[in-house]
Structure 1
Amino acid sequence: MLDSLLQGFSAALSLDALLFCFIGVTVGTFVGVLPGLGALTAISMLLPLTYYLDPMVGLIMLAGIFYGAQYGSSTAAILLNIPGTATAAITCLDGYPMARNGRAGVALFMTSIASFAGGVFAICALMLFTPALSQLALSFNSAEYFAAMFLGLIAASTLGVGSPLKGLAMVVLGLALAIPGTDINSGQMRFTFGYFEMAEGFQLVAIAMGLFGVSEILTMLIRRERPKVLAKHITYRSMLPTRDDWSRFSWPAARGAVIGSIIGALPGSGPSMATFVSYAVERRAAKDPSRFGKGAVEGIVAPESANNASVQAAFIPTLSLGVPGDAVMAILLGALMIHGIIPGPEFIDQQPRLFWGLVASFWIGNIALLVLNVPLIGLWIRLLSVPYRILYPTMLFLICIGVYSVRGNGFDVGVTLAFGLVGMVMNMLNYPTAPVLLGFILGPLIEEHFKRALLVSRGDLAIFVERPISAGLLTCAALMLALSIWQALHARRKRLARETAAGTERTESN
């Protein structure tokens, strides 16, 4: 492992890799600081650039955006009480009260250190468990791959925030969007509606930029002006934690790193779940839970550590099994597939330079983020004052240029704008957009393995339950789906009961 890691550092320390690693973490921190953007928007915008880069360099840049956004997202959460990304929502609970108490500098410093600690722990887990999981996955056949991907889709749609039924509906929509194009077995074009541009189906870049770039920009443009920054002048002296702060740092950061690594390695869970679970654990473990919500250091350290640990650990199932855990991992998987690289059990053996170079870049990127976030906090604070009416139209123009540069086709630009409007409507109706992209990315793979398994079994569906691993994964998916549907129906009954009771009370009062 040490020899492989040294070879990875020799690749990651090349001039191109260092440059694009720095670009990735800087852009990630930038979009994390600005509320409403997020890693998905930035990765969608820069995905066309990776077509002209070495696959390892391109993946290093996109990955840097992903975990860099987690570092920067806490800045807006602490200073504005607005999370830069959804994963930083829990940081608002104690980060903003600390800022109101004049401890914004300490809060920003502690979140940076906790993020670094969580990331380092998860990188070690990535180095240890990804090769082992890849060896286990070598025994998989098409039935197991289909079951694993099916479980990932169900988990991503039912474990997220909001209605699980809406999440399932969006997964189905994503699978439907993957159908148009050329059939992988027969070579026949299907559902192209006479458009030659649809021979290869919808482009990943067009859908990703539309759903996560244009939609967010349109949504934010119709919102009101943001609140003023709470702390404009933060000195380095004000960032120094006290001895009591350090005493409350170690164990919450360690527990958050472990929780984040475990949850991040599970397909469909994501960093949002890791932050909420770690916060709940810290509140239960605290001697005085009443401190939480009023500026407790543990309330920002544990979620931030879990946040970054889960992001790094999300690469474990993506690279070893080829099953992305969330929408960002799905885009990274798509970026590799565009270059003809298929993550899976043989990925590490076939692409050792890419895998270990990526792992080495994580060490470099996390150190760079620590340097970026602590000394340059003043710069990130000033970025919050950039008017959105200037920032977002510029980004919209760059998105259109990026989409057009992929194939030089105006049809893709129209698809991007159309999906941007669809995504905006989905956001307004509280329909999650991430499951759509997961369904779109995994749709062709699920179809391929499903048909291949049926060819092996000569059309016998029993092949999916005859093998223990496949049967176990499908059983987990069925239980998860049944539980989510039951919870949704139960919540609906309770809501109807409350509305009926309220209506009865109003009738009696009248």
Structure 2
Amino acid sequence: MLDAYVTALGMVLDPYVLFVITASAIYGLVVGCIPGLSATMATALLVPLTFFMPPVPAIAAIVTTSTMAIFSGDIPGCLLRIPGTPASAAYVDDSYQMTLKGKPELALGIGLWFSVLGGLFGTAVMMVASPAIADFALGFGSVEFFWIVMLGLGGAVFIGSSTPLKACISLLIGLLIAMIGINNPAGQPRFTFESTEMLGGVSLIPMMVGMFACSEVMRHMVSGGGAPPVVIQKIGPIFANMWRLTKQYPWQLIRGSALGTVIGIQPGSGADMAAWMSYAMSKRFSKEPEKFGTGHPEGLIEAGASNNSSLAGAWIPALVFGIPGDSITAIAIGVLMMKNMAPGPTIFVNNPENVYALFLVFVVANLMMLPLGWAIIKVATRVLTVPRKILMPIILLFAIVGSYAINNSLFDVGVMLAFGVLAFVLEENDFPVAPVILGVVLGPLLEEYFINSMIKSDGRLIGLVDRPIAAVLAAITIGIIGWTILASMRGRQARTENTAA
């Protein structure tokens, strides 16, 4: 392992890789601090460029962009009360109240400093846990992986969403899309409508670019709007009180980082759920809960550490089992497959240097966040004045060119536009988009593992639970689904009783 880390360090310190990390960091910081442009969209737009890169810089671009964008979403939330990313919405009231009190540098400093510490905590857990879990998973068969995939799908629908029924419908749409083409165990063309372009299935990258970038452009066209009003503030020293706050709130830092990592490991959750849950936990256990929402730093510290630690946590199931922890790692899995680095426990055997290079990129990206984050904070008021009517056409142009460049095919441009319309319609009706991506990514794996398991058991369904680990995974999956359905029924009954009363 030590030799692999030495080799990986040499790969990360390559001048080209460092240039890619720096460029991706600046890109992620700028996109993340513009309201409405999410970290997922920033990552999806970057994917076509990774097609022309070697594996390590390609993954470094994805990791660095997402890490920076999650942090910089705090900037418009603090200055404008408009969260740049969904993860920043959990604590926007506290950060904006600090700005109104004349302390924007304190709120932004907390966001930057504790995001870095949380990110490094999650990275350390990922570096220690991933190889150990992979060693354990090497003994898994198709039955165990079938239930792992089912657990990922169930967790995304029933835990990672506030509306399980709508999330389930979105997931079914994704599974239906995954059935298109000839890439199935039977080799039978399905839903191709006699189109040769459809035989290979729906291309994942144009689909994701459409769902996360094109849909945002359409939303802007419908809603209109120009540049947001910028609160002009003189921003003082960013790091002035950070060490004092670290010593004052150590348990909040540790608790937020740990909870964020655990939530990140749960497929379908993501940084926004980590931030909301950590903020709620901080308020629940605080000695001063009445101060939350008035510019109190405690919730900012815990939630800020949590959302960045969840990014590293989400890579653990993505690397070990090929199951995305969030929408960003769903995109990353597509990039890994494109670079012949199929996720799974064997990736630590077949490509250990590349995996350890990914770990080191997380460390470098989080450390680079300190100087680059300081710089973007200082110029934030200028970045936030970019009119959306200028920004959106540029985003659409990059989406079209990137989708075409992958296979030099206009069909992929049509795929991108079609899925942009689909995502727009879904989100306008409060259907989550992430389960669609999850269904497309995991659908082929679910079918493959199920067919292999049935072949091994001569078609007997008992073969899915006749091994100890498979039985435990099955019980957990069924328990999660059953518990959520029961909780939903109880909530509906309580609402009915309240209405009757």
Q: Which category of TM-score, normalised to the shorter sequence, fits these structures?
A: over 0.9
Q: Mapping of 1:365-384 within 5 angstroms?
A: 365-384=365-384
Aligned-pair CA distance for 1:203: 0.7
Match of 1:229 in 2: 230
Counterpart residue number, 1:505 = none
Partners of 1:5 and 1:326 lie apart in 2 by 26
Residue of structure 1 in register with 2:143 after alignment = 143
Alignment correspondent of 2:426: 426
5 Å-filtered alignment, 1:252-331, equals: 252-331=252-331
For 1:302-350, what per-residue CA distance to the aligned partner results, in whole angstroms no more than 9, with x for missing partners? 1010111111121111112222112211111111112222111111121
More off after superposition, 282-291 vs 122-131: 282-291
Corresponding residue SS for 2:420: helix
Deviations 1:13-64 (A, max 9, x none): 0022111111222222222111111122122212122221111210111111
In structure 1, runs of 5+ residues without a counterpart are 502-510
Contact 2:32-2:38 within 8 A present in 1 as well = yes
**3-state DSSP of counterpart to 1:189:** coil
Q: Does 1:91 align with 2:91?
A: yes
Residues 394 and 453 (structure 1), Cα distance of their counterparts in 2 relative to 1, 3 Å cut: same
1:195 aligned residue: 195
Residue aligning to 1:110? 110
Q: Which moved more, 1:476-485 or 1:217-226?
A: 217-226
8 Å CA contact retained: 1:155, 1:480: yes
1:98-247 superposed matches below 5 A: 98-223=98-223, 224-225=225-226, 227-236=228-237, 240-241=240-241, 245-247=245-247
- Residues 36 and 220 of structure 1 are in contact (CA less than 8 Å); yes or no, is this contact kept in structure 2? no
Once the two structures are TM-superposed, the CA of residue 381 in structure 1 deviates from its matched residue by 2.9
Normalising by structure 2, we get a TM-score of: 0.95
User: 2:427 and 2:80 mapped to 1: Cα distance?
Assistant: 22
How far 1:456 moved relative to its partner?
1.2
SS in 1 for 2:230: coil
AA partner of residue 357 (structure 1)? A
Whether contact under 8 Å (2:134, 2:346) holds in the other structure is yes
Q: RMSD of the TM alignment (CA)?
A: 1.9
By how many angstroms is 1:244 displaced? Answer: 6.0
Alpha-carbon offset, residue 182 of structure 1: 0.5
State the SS of the aligned residue for 1:466.
coil
Mapped partners of 1:93, 1:232: distance in 2: 17
Name the residue aligned to 2:480: 480
Spell out, residue by residue over 1:104-135, the C-alpha distance to the aligned partner (whole angstroms, 9 max, x if none). 11110111010110111111111111110000
State how far apart, in whole Å, the 2-side matches of 1:296 and 1:463 are. 55
1:207-256: CA deviations, max 9, x gaps? 101111111221133334464223443133x7632886454343322221
Instruction: Sort the Cα spacing of 1:29 and 1:404 in 2 relative to 1 into closer, same or farther, 3 A.
Output: same
Matched residue, 1:504 = none
Distance in 2 of aligned mates of 1:465 and 1:226: 56
Contact in 2 for aligned 1:108/1:239 (Cα 8 Å): no
Report deviation, 1:358.
0.9
Please tell me the residue identity of whatever aligns with 1:13: L
Q: Answer yes or no: is the 8 Å Cα contact 1:8–1:359 preserved in 2.
A: no
Other-structure match for 1:465: 465
User: 1:260-316: per-residue Cα shift (whole Å, max 9, x none)?
Assistant: 122222223322222222222222332221111111111111101011111112111
> Cα distance 1:462–1:246, how it changes in 2: closer, same or farther (>3 A)?
closer
Normalising by structure 1, what TM-score? 0.94
Report the Cα distance in structure 1 between the residues aligned to 2:475 and 2:397, rounded to whole angstroms. 46
Bigger mean CA deviation after superposition, 264-273 or 119-128: 264-273
Q: Trace 1:332-351 onto structure 2 (pairs within 5 A).
A: 332-351=332-351
Is the contact made by 1:206 and 1:415 (CA closer than 8 Å) also made in structure 2?
yes
Moved more, 382-391 or 178-187: 178-187
Residue type of the alignment partner of 1:229: V
Greater mean alpha carbon deviation, residues 257-266 or residues 350-359? 257-266
Distance 1:274 1:20, change over 3 A: same
1:37 corresponds in structure 2 to: 37
**Letter in structure 1 aligned against 2:382:** R
Distance 1:381 1:249, change over 3 A: farther
Contact 1:221 1:388 in 2 (8 A): no
Q: For residue 93 of structure 1, report the CA deviation from its aligned partner.
A: 2.8
| Displacement after TM superposition at 1:176 (Å) | 0.3
Q: 1:282 to 1:19 in 2, by over 3 A?
A: same
**1:407 pairs with 2:407:** yes
Q: Are the equivalent residues in 1 in contact too, given 2:264–2:326 (CA < 8 A)?
A: no
Instruction: Work out the CA distance in 1 between the residues paired with 2:242 and 2:449.
Output: 56
CA distance in 2 between partners of 1:185 and 1:251 (Å): 51
Distance 1:83 1:171 in 2: 27
Aligned counterpart, 1:79: 79
Q: Give the equivalent residue in structure 2 for 1:452.
A: 452
Partner amino acid, structure 2, of 1:462:
I
Cα deviation, residue 484, structure 1: 2.2
| DSSP-derived class of the 2:200 partner | coil
Whether the 8 Å CA contact 1:67–1:312 is kept in 2: the answer is no
Q: 1:314 to 1:242 in 2, by over 3 A?
A: closer
Question: What is the rounded CA distance, in whole Å, between the counterparts of 1:396 and 1:27 in structure 2?
Answer: 16
Distance 1:333 1:24 in 2: 18
Conservation of the 8 A alpha-carbon contact between 1:44 and 1:208: yes
Q: Report how many residues are paired.
A: 500
Tell which deviates more after alignment, 376-385 or 114-123.
376-385
CA distance 1:281–1:52, shift in 2 (3 Å): same
Q: State the SS of the aligned residue for 1:376.
A: helix
Deviation at 1:429, TM superposition (A): 0.6
Provide the secondary structure at the position in 1 that maps to 2:73: helix
Question: Does 2:337 match 1:352?
Answer: no
Native 8 Å contact 2:270 2:314 kept in 1:
yes
Give the distance between the partners of 1:162 and 1:35, measured in 2 at CA: 23
CA distance in structure 2 between the partners assigned to 1:270 and 1:378 by the alignment = 28
What percentage of residue pairs aligned between the two structures are identical? 34
Judged with a 3 Å threshold, the aligned counterparts in structure 2 of structure 1 residues 308 and 77 are, in CA distance, closer, same or farther, namely same
Shift of 1:441: 0.6
